[in-house]
Structure 1
């Protein structure tokens, strides 16, 4: 099979460089271009010395004409709002786009504008975009594959890390009708790499080390994405109370969700729902009874682990926890998983390695 040419826009960010690493090891993808506005003209291996001897690409400017000349597929590992201009230009030039920003995740441009405080300049693309969480939306990704096979260019909105873990934790209970009401509570903890490569006062080593801090309380921009996804899963409007926390980890994310259990629900019902829902998912594992996931178990992988319990005191509560790598299943490896589907490749190609033992 001829290699599929890939450009990674925003290659020097943490998600971007993780994409570079995955694409370089992928048997069917060829990294032909990597971009960075500030570091253009510099070798990628100068920014990340671990790439010396493995990749000799010189970073380029993210110019749509140049990307279209060199690449079949572009991964946009860029900050929110940056994709609004670039994605339409690439699609118009025949490039398939997988966008890791939030710019095309929300169906309603008014919701996007309210949370991201900027006009959505290409709302016409929202109806053509597929939300790229394969475990929930594989049919949509396969529909994009069919469109791409007949020559169309397609756009995937790759989910955020917190929404991915929250959705994987909550979906089986909501789909099976085991959770009642319209509220899901998500408490989540992320490693510092989730804040991006640019340093800040909050992510400075002296501030982040030996400390856990809640942030974005009642105001985090991933909230409407979670509400949109879980409402679609449940078939009714769902509100999310979301509290993210920053922990002194380099990478890793743990989301624990709380759902009010429907009348008569027992722990065996909950376990059966989760085991059945993920039984055939190659990258999601439901842990045995009594075990809960740990970020170390999925470090550096495309995998997710889910554990579940039932607090059956006065108000029965389903407690489900999901661990992912925020740069893996929460970003880069999920983007590659989606790319595999829309390119007609095996879904887990290049993604099956387990976490390092030490």
Structure 2
């Protein structure tokens, strides 16, 4: 059985990545793609890589066809999702949202960090958080709704929170850490979206690394929510001169008891959580993740190291920001909601060169 699916906001980078994945998906039939700015433009004209793969053209966000789908992916900026999601759910359409609008459980926290009024806060209590490896029960709840013919809302985790949390959550949950969680993360330019700015202009981004939104990046409260560390995350993101890829290095101060543990012992705990999860690769002691190893995949590579002198655990997560950090994670969540193998239509083999 195939399901009719669509992508709202398909002309952006995350939206185009969704289109790439969905065109190769054996169970999801991509029937509608929307972009108000590109309405009437053929997909292959906007992205020549799709030449011969699809004859779809962009329509507007209010295309009635979106309400005829079984599943709709939203790849739109924050606040834009809120204008679409309630009506889609009312029409019986399951929604997988890549935006930030439904990630945070507390509407007041959302409004504080995003500077916008949340217009459907009642959905925050029923939405499922889309990070399957850490919030499996949420995805199971969404699947249960699908099984009885009801639509579900999945709010996918953001790119920085995904890499950061998959790397650090096992250590935090095991009670090995104390004090602040220090996050130093770096992302390729596609993480800034398709719109060009002075910061992302080639002449400014090439041959340069720069920190941005220091102390005020909106992914901070999401990381705190996932880790259960409110007010204890210091998050500094950086823009690096590459198209895709995200590396998050997290510094965790160990308790006296955990400080005596070896990296090998800690890795056993990581394997206990992630073994059987196809998209988290826990690297052996002495090996650390690289963005080049995960580009084009839905994989998060995780590696551990210890600074014995300062009793600090250094955990590193690497993902493709457009795949496991956005579109791939959305497809993974949708697979699970619709009762499919979570690997369906997704790759865990990177490009060797």
Query: Could you tell me how far 1:239 is from its partner in structure 2?
Result: 1.4
Query: Could you tell me how far 1:238 is from its partner in structure 2?
Result: 5.7
Residue 221 (structure 2) pairs with residue 224 (structure 1): yes
Residue 248 (structure 2) pairs with residue 255 (structure 1): yes
Query: Could you tell me how far 1:276 is from its partner in structure 2?
Result: 2.4
Distance in 1 (CA, whole Å) between partners of 2:290 and 2:231 is 27
Distance in 2 (CA, whole Å) between partners of 1:284 and 1:66 is 36
Query: Superposition pairs for residues 172-251 of structure 1, below 5 Å?
Result: 172-181=170-179, 183-231=180-228, 237=230, 239-251=232-244
The match for 1:346 is 341
Tell me if structure 1 keeps the 8 A contact 2:32–2:65: no
Query: Superposition pairs for residues 78-157 of structure 1, below 5 Å?
Result: 78-157=76-155
The match for 1:158 is 156
The match for 1:27 is 26
The match for 2:45 is 46
Query: Could you tell me how far 1:207 is from its partner in structure 2?
Result: 0.3
Encode CA deviations 1:226-282: one digit per residue, 9 max, x unaligned: 111100xxxx64611000000001000000001111113222332222232222221
Tell me if structure 2 keeps the 8 A contact 1:191–1:249: yes
Tell me if structure 1 keeps the 8 A contact 2:279–2:348: no
Residue 268 (structure 2) pairs with residue 272 (structure 1): yes
Q: Secondary structure at the match of 1:146?
A: helix
Residue 294 (structure 2) pairs with residue 295 (structure 1): no
Query: Could you tell me how far 1:152 is from its partner in structure 2?
Result: 0.9
TM-score (norm 1): 0.96
Query: Could you tell me how far 1:85 is from its partner in structure 2?
Result: 0.9
Query: Could you tell me how far 1:64 is from its partner in structure 2?
Result: 6.2
Cα RMSD after superposing both structures: 1.1
Where has structure 1 moved over 3 Å in runs of 4 or more?
none
Encode CA deviations 1:114-137: one digit per residue, 9 max, x unaligned: 111110000011101011000011
Residue 321 (structure 2) pairs with residue 329 (structure 1): no
Tell me if structure 2 keeps the 8 A contact 1:65–1:93: no
Structure 2: which 5+ residue stretches go unaligned? none
Structure 1: which 5+ residue stretches go unaligned? none
Q: Secondary structure at the match of 2:177?
A: coil
Query: Could you tell me how far 1:310 is from its partner in structure 2?
Result: 1.1
TM-score (norm 2): 0.97
Tell me if structure 2 keeps the 8 A contact 1:64–1:90: no
Distance in 2 (CA, whole Å) between partners of 1:316 and 1:49 is 51
Tell me if structure 2 keeps the 8 A contact 1:230–1:238: no
After TM superposition, the structure 1 stretch with the greater mean CA deviation from structure 2, 263-272 or 348-357, is 263-272
Tell me if structure 2 keeps the 8 A contact 1:192–1:250: yes
- Alignment: residue pair count: 350
Encode CA deviations 1:293-320: one digit per residue, 9 max, x unaligned: 000000110001001011111x311100
Residue 7 (structure 2) pairs with residue 8 (structure 1): yes
Tell me if structure 2 keeps the 8 A contact 1:98–1:339: yes
Distance in 2 (CA, whole Å) between partners of 1:118 and 1:176 is 36
Distance in 2 (CA, whole Å) between partners of 1:123 and 1:272 is 40
